[in-house]
Structure formats: structure tokens, C-alpha cells
Chain A
Amino acid sequence: MKKGTFRKWLYPVAIASLVLLSACGGGAKPAAEAGGGQTAATGGASGEPIKVGAIFSLTGPNSPLGVPEKQAVELLVKEINGAGGVNGRPVEVVFEDDKSDNTEAVKAIKKLVSKEKVVAVLGSSGSGPSLGMAEFAATEKLPLISMAAADQITNPVRAGIFKTPHTDVHGTKRIFKYLKEKGITKIATLNDSNPYGSGWTTQLQKYAPEYGITIVAEEKYGTKDPSMSSQLTKIKGTDAQALIVAGTNPGPATIVKEAKQLNMTIPIISSHGSANSKFLELVGDAGEGVLMVAGKLLVPDQVDANDPQAAVIKKFAEGYQAAYSSQPDGFAGYGYDGLNLLVEGLKQAGGDASKLGEVLEKVKYVGVTGEFTFSNDDHNGLTEDSMIMVEVKGGKFQIVK
């Protein structure tokens, strides 16, 4: 009798658990803004337009990255065409949304090539989609500039494949440089277990010996975990002098809050994945004194006037603010630099996109993300010196000199 009733329930309950678990994986809902196949307006330049594709994650979990990237590109296209385009020809950008999905990204790039006949592609926002697109672009010999973080996009180097953001290698080196200056040798790490956080875990391990740093505790958390207090308790019990956190919001914000609740006193250094105003909003008072590694665009008004990037950052930040009434974040900067690099390359190649891959390797470009110097063995072109350390003071990011 008991066994019978249990059987009766086993089936529905098992099905229900399965559905719940699978629902757990893909929480993405399409956001209001969809950007399939729309094109940015062409402006002052006349003549046959040069068609460029741009695939960003406009919906899905990566949409906080893709939307500002698209906005920055739209703004820049108007400016470029207003100033005469490329050798008198206007640039036309065809946008596609990869829905934060690897397969959709590859479908989108194939469509852009076969239907729209684009000469080069920007994107995508996430590392997974970018890797898939890079694979296709490399075989098609289509120039591609990605806005995603993963080191593997340009490592190993492939002809015509470039990327604009700082990598976890840059972030790791910049943090270690800071720790060395402060005489800190023992650290704990608490990173997201997703590809972004795992990338950081690998690089932190790899470069620690070079800077004389020992990792005394290496902890992980799940992107959706409501609490990381057990990991923090463990770290509190070690002799770590600083805690490094790599993840995208809200994880790092939760960690900072819980560290305060546990009375942890060691400095917390968070990665550039969390460097935006949302972090400040989420942590509130608990954020005071938190350190972060970031691009200079995070604090446009604090960049040293003698910095080669100062002028370009100021111009971009003001233009973006005027157009969208919000501060541009790092992602907007990646999109901006991507299109600028592409246009710069096209100009130097005399409008011939097939030469873009070779030309870009010689381009020197001062962008909002950093000073790009590409070469035939570096298709990211940045160094850790273009990153800064900031501290949260009075609810704002302040550059640490």
C-alpha cells in the first residue's frame, strides 16, 4: 500500500524535478529591444557604401554587454560618415542579434556573409559566440574584430581575427603588480565557476609565482548562488592578506556584502567584470574600500591630462552621455574601439577589405580601452599598463595612484 502510493508519486515528482532543473539552465527571456537585420543610417559621405556586419548579444544573459556595444557603434557610424566615411564612401553597419547563443552567432555571421555581402564583421559580445564566429571567419578569410574577453579568441593568432577588450591575463598582471607594490604575498581567490571566472582562476595560478605570490585558498561559487558565506568563512580561516574575486555582477557584490557581515578585514580586489555603476548600487555602504581593476573609461573625469588616452576618452564619454544620457561603460568602449579600428584599417587599405588583416597588424591606435599596438603575434594589442586600479570611496570609484 505504502509502496504503491510512493510509486504513484514518483513519476510526477521526477518529471517536475527534471523540468525545474532544466528551467534552471536557461533563464533567458528576450528583452524588449530586438535588432535583427536593422541598419544604421548612412550620413554625409556619398558613393557606394562599405557594408560591415555587427553581431552583438542584444537579448539574453549577455544583453548588458551587447546593448551598450551597439549603441556606441551606432553613434560612431554617424560620426564617421559625417566626416566623409572611408575615402568618400559611407560605412553601413548591418546589426544582428546572436541572442547570447553560440549557434545563433554562427548562423548570423553566415547570413551576413551570404545575404548582406559584408566585408568585415564586429562581434560578438560573449566569448562563446565569438569563438564560433572566429572559426567561421578564419576559414572564410573574413576579417573579424571581437568584443569578448577570452584569451583563446586571439591566442593562437589567426589571420584577420582581432579583439578589443582587456583579457584576464591583463587583469591578473595588473592586480599582481599592485599587490607587489603593497608587499602582499598571500592571497585567496573566490571566482565564479563559469568560463569567465575559470579563465581568471587559470591565469591567477599561472602568473602568481612570477610575482612571488602564493594562493593560500582557491574557492569557487555558482553564478546564481544566493550565498557565498561558507567560502568566505574558509578564506577567513586562512592567513590570506587579500581576496581576489572574479565574476560579473551580482556575484562580486554579494561577496563584498557577505564579507562585511562576516567581519572580514582583508582588502577585496574585484575584476573588471564587475567594474560598473551597478556594482556600487548593489553593495551600498559595504563597498567602501573595495579595490577593482578596470579600464580608464570607468573614471573618464579622473584620467590624467597627460595620458595619451585622455582626449579620446573625454570625447567618447561626452558624446555618449549626450546621446544616451548615461555614462558609457567598458563594453561601450569595446564596441567603439572595434569599429574605429576597422575603419582605420579600411582607410589604410584604401577601402580594400581583403587587405584588412595585414594592415591591422601594423595599425597603432589610441582607443578608449587602451593603446592598441597589434603585431603579427599579438592580435589584442593591449598591455596591462592600460588598466588602472580603482578604490570605492564615498560611493564612487577613485583612481588609486
Chain B
Amino acid sequence: MTELLQYVANGLVSGGIYAIVAVGFITIYNVSKVINLAQGEFLMLGGMVTVALIGMNLPYGLAALLAILAVTAIGIIMQKYVIDYVKKASPISLIILTIGISTLIRGIASFIWGKDAFALEPITSNEPLSFGGVTIATQSVWILAAVLIILFLLWYLMEKTILGKKINACSVNPMAARLMGISPTKMSMLAFAISGATGAVAGIVIAPLSVTSYDIGVLLGIKGFSAAILGGLGNPLGAAVAAFLLGIVESLGAGYVSSGMKDAIAFLVLIGMLLVKPSGLFGERSVGKGGL
């Protein structure tokens, strides 16, 4: 029983990471209908820039803050100078474009920092916490807290503020939104900024658990993307639930079936679920909606 709970706890932590990535995908998708496959790279940059700034003797908090700002800026630049520049392009071209950007970011990162992995100190103590036999790292609490805070803030922004209504309006019908004096371009830029910031936060909170390197974004990007699809592309809450599910299935698969087939099992479950419900678990109000 303890073992089962431990697997679930491990799964929740990795699921939390996937959730932040997935929510980043959806924030951008909802507003601009672009699937930003450089989302994993935002996360990598968050961790790597923090490590680099701490290496320049900046205090932890300041380094993390600057890293978040830097990645937010990269998100905005990416929207302004690439995505917006070719806004008439088809979705497939835009997706390929974001893959290009992700490869470019990875290339630059490996050029600046090399291919080695780097360690980041935990935010608080290194001592594990124990709850009735289930042990988790203190850092995992930070990860889960970050996920919940990000989800809450996004929900608040989208549902309770005028800005959120504007973003929603662009998502539902960009033409009508424009007629009402809302600029879809600005809203899209905002979405990229939010994705950059949340990605950077994720990169910073997960780095201390293991290590960070120029290529960690690839795998996390795929997992987050899968969660976004499974949750029904377009629904942040659905994506978060799907992400936690994916994390737990992975962990149970590694524990009870075979650790060598961990990813295979997780993706098999994913394929199975999508075959049964092609629009995703919570997909009734989502796929392909909007101005496409």
C-alpha cells in the first residue's frame, strides 16, 4: 500500500511538470491557434539561465526572477518577430516554424553552455519529507505549489478579469474581437508572454530535483504536448488533469510492469484513450474552434 502511494506521489510530481508545459501549450493555442512546439525550450531556458546567473554570483531569488523575465521576453520576441510576421501562414507551417525555433534555441543553448548537465540547489532544504512511509523531496512540494498557483492565476485571469474576457473573445472570434476594438495580435503576444513565464517557472522548480541541460525541453515538451491533446486541446483544466494522469500512469507502469517500458506504457494508454475519445478527455468545447 505504501508502495502504491509512493508511486502515486512520484507520478503527481512528474505530472505537475507536464501540467505546466501543457497549460503553456493551451494558453497560446487558445488565443492564436498556434501549437508552440518550443514550449519545452522555454522550460529549459528557465532552468539554464537561472544556473548561469547564479554562476555569476547573483542571489538565487534575483537570478530566478531575471530568468523568468528573460524567457518572457523571448516569448514576446518570438510572437512579435516570427509568428505575427507570418500570421497568414497555414497552421502546419506555423507548427514547423515553432519546431525550427525550438531547434534554434537548443542549438544556441548548447553553444553557450555546452552539452553538459548542470545542478541547481533546492529552493529550501534538501531533506526529504515523510508522510506515513511516503517520502517526497521538499522541492516536490514547491513544484506542486507552483502548478496550483499557476493554474489558479490563469483561471482568475481568464474568468474574472476584463483582460481575460478579451483573450477569450479573440479565441472565440478574432474578427468580431477586432471589431470591438480588441487587438488579437496584442492578446497573442500576451499569451506567448504568459507561456514563457510559466515555462520558465517550471524549468526553475524542476531543475533541483535532478539536473538541467540544453536538451531537457525535448522530452518534457512531448509529454506536455501529449497531456494537452489528451485533455482536449483548448481546455487548461482538462490538460492539467490529463497531465497528472499521464504522470501517475507512467510511474505505476515503471513500478508494476517494467521500468524499461515506462514511456511505452504511458503512450499506449494515451493512444487507447484517444481512440475511445478522439477529442480528448474534456474536449467537447475545444478542437478546431475559433477562426480557422
Tell whether A and B belong to one assembly.
Answer: yes
Q: Is B10 an interface residue (CB 8 A)?
A: yes
Tell me whether chain B's interface is mostly helix, strand or loop, or mixed: helix
Minimum CB–CB distance from A232 to chain B (whole Å) comes to: 9
Q: Is A322 an interface residue (CB 8 A)?
A: no
Residues of A with C-beta under 8 A to B115: 29, 31, 61, 63-64
Q: Is B79 an interface residue (CB 8 A)?
A: no
Known: A19-B96, A32-B111, A230-B7. A220 touches B259 (CB 8 A): yes
Residues of B with C-beta under 8 A to A284: 119, 121
Q: Is B187 an interface residue (CB 8 A)?
A: no
Q: Give the most central of B96, B111, B139, B287: most A CB within 10 Å.
A: B287
Q: Contact check, A24 vs B259: say whether CB atoms are below 8 A apart.
A: no
Residues of B with C-beta under 8 A to A261: 128, 135-137, 139-140, 209
Q: Contact check, B209 vs A8: say whether CB atoms are below 8 A apart.
A: no
Q: Is A258 an interface residue (CB 8 A)?
A: yes
Q: Contact check, A253 vs B136: say whether CB atoms are below 8 A apart.
A: no
Q: Contact check, B288 vs A227: say whether CB atoms are below 8 A apart.
A: no
CA distance A233 to B262 in the complex (A): 14
Q: Contact check, B209 vs A233: say whether CB atoms are below 8 A apart.
A: no
Q: Contact check, A23 vs B259: say whether CB atoms are below 8 A apart.
A: no
Q: Contact check, B14 vs A226: say whether CB atoms are below 8 A apart.
A: yes
Q: Contact check, B13 vs A227: say whether CB atoms are below 8 A apart.
A: yes
Q: Which range holds the interface residue count of chain B? A: 35 or more
Minimum CB–CB distance from B245 to chain A (whole Å) comes to: 15
**Closest A residue, CB atoms, query B261:** A220
Query: Which of the residues B110, B210, B225, B278 comes within 8 Å of A227, measured between beta carbons?
Result: B210
Q: Is A214 an interface residue (CB 8 A)?
A: no
Known: A16-B37, A19-B96, A233-B255. A27 touches B111 (CB 8 A): no
Query: Which of the residues B35, B210, B254, B287 comes within 8 Å of A230, measured between beta carbons?
Result: B254
Residues of B with C-beta under 8 A to A49: none
Q: Contact check, B119 vs A253: say whether CB atoms are below 8 A apart.
A: yes
Q: Which of A243-279 contact B (CB under 8 A)?
A: 249-250, 253-254, 257-258, 260-263, 278
Minimum CB–CB distance from B115 to chain A (whole Å) comes to: 7
Q: Is B174 an interface residue (CB 8 A)?
A: no
Tell me whether chain A's interface is mostly helix, strand or loop, or mixed: helix
Query: Which of the residues A11, A61, A231, A262 comes within 8 Å of B128, measured between beta carbons?
Result: A262
Known: A15-B92, A231-B254. A20 touches B99 (CB 8 A): yes
Residues of B with C-beta under 8 A to A17: 222, 225
CA distance A115 to B288 in the complex (A): 59
Residues of B with C-beta under 8 A to A237: 3
**Closest A residue, CB atoms, query B4:** A233
Q: Is B107 an interface residue (CB 8 A)?
A: yes
CA distance A31 to B112 in the complex (A): 10
Minimum CB–CB distance from B86 to chain A (whole Å) comes to: 15
Q: Is A12 an interface residue (CB 8 A)?
A: yes
Residues of B with C-beta under 8 A to A31: 110, 114-115
Q: Contact check, A27 vs B119: say whether CB atoms are below 8 A apart.
A: no
Question: How many residues of chain A have a CB within 8 Å of chain B?
Answer: 57
Q: Contact check, B37 vs A20: say whether CB atoms are below 8 A apart.
A: yes
**Closest B residue, CB atoms, query A262:** B135
CA distance A225 to B219 in the complex (A): 8
**Closest A residue, CB atoms, query B96:** A19
Q: Contact check, B254 vs A224: say whether CB atoms are below 8 A apart.
A: no
Residues of B with C-beta under 8 A to A29: 106-107, 110-111, 115
Q: Is B124 an interface residue (CB 8 A)?
A: no
Known: A222-B263, A230-B255. A5 touches B222 (CB 8 A): no
Minimum CB–CB distance from B66 to chain A (whole Å) comes to: 23
Q: Is A136 an interface residue (CB 8 A)?
A: no
Contact with B along A276-308 (1 / 0, CB 8 A): 001001111110000000000000000000000
Residues of B with C-beta under 8 A to A249: 116-117
Query: Which of the residues A13, A23, A254, A285 comes within 8 Å of B126, measured between beta carbons?
Result: A285
Q: Which of A27-61 contact B (CB under 8 A)?
A: 27, 29, 31-32, 61
Q: Contact check, B99 vs A23: say whether CB atoms are below 8 A apart.
A: yes
Q: Contact check, B35 vs A21: say whether CB atoms are below 8 A apart.
A: no
Q: Is B148 an interface residue (CB 8 A)?
A: no
CA distance A220 to B261 in the complex (A): 9
Q: Which of A70-124 contact B (CB under 8 A)?
A: none
Q: Is B251 an interface residue (CB 8 A)?
A: yes
Known: A227-B210, A250-B210. A6 touches B279 (CB 8 A): yes
Q: Which of B114-163 contact A (CB under 8 A)?
A: 114-119, 121, 126, 128, 130, 135-137, 139-140
Q: Is B239 an interface residue (CB 8 A)?
A: no
Known: A11-B92, A29-B106, A253-B117. A16 touches B99 (CB 8 A): yes
Q: Give the most central of B17, B135, B140, B278: most A CB within 10 Å.
A: B135
CA distance A225 to B17 in the complex (A): 13
Minimum CB–CB distance from A262 to chain B (whole Å) comes to: 5
Can you list 17 A-B pairs, Cβ within 8 angstroms, ordered by A? A5-B287, A6-B287, A12-B91, A16-B225, A17-B222, A29-B115, A61-B115, A226-B209, A230-B10, A230-B11, A234-B259, A250-B213, A253-B211, A257-B209, A261-B135, A263-B130, A281-B119
Across the A-B interface, the 6 shortest Cβ-Cβ residue pairs? A5-B288, A261-B137, A250-B117, A230-B254, A254-B210, A220-B260
Contacts A9-B233, A224-B216, A282-B119 aside, 12 further interface pairs with beta carbons under 8 A come to A64-B116, A226-B216, A226-B220, A227-B13, A230-B255, A230-B259, A231-B259, A233-B6, A234-B3, A260-B126, A282-B117, A282-B118
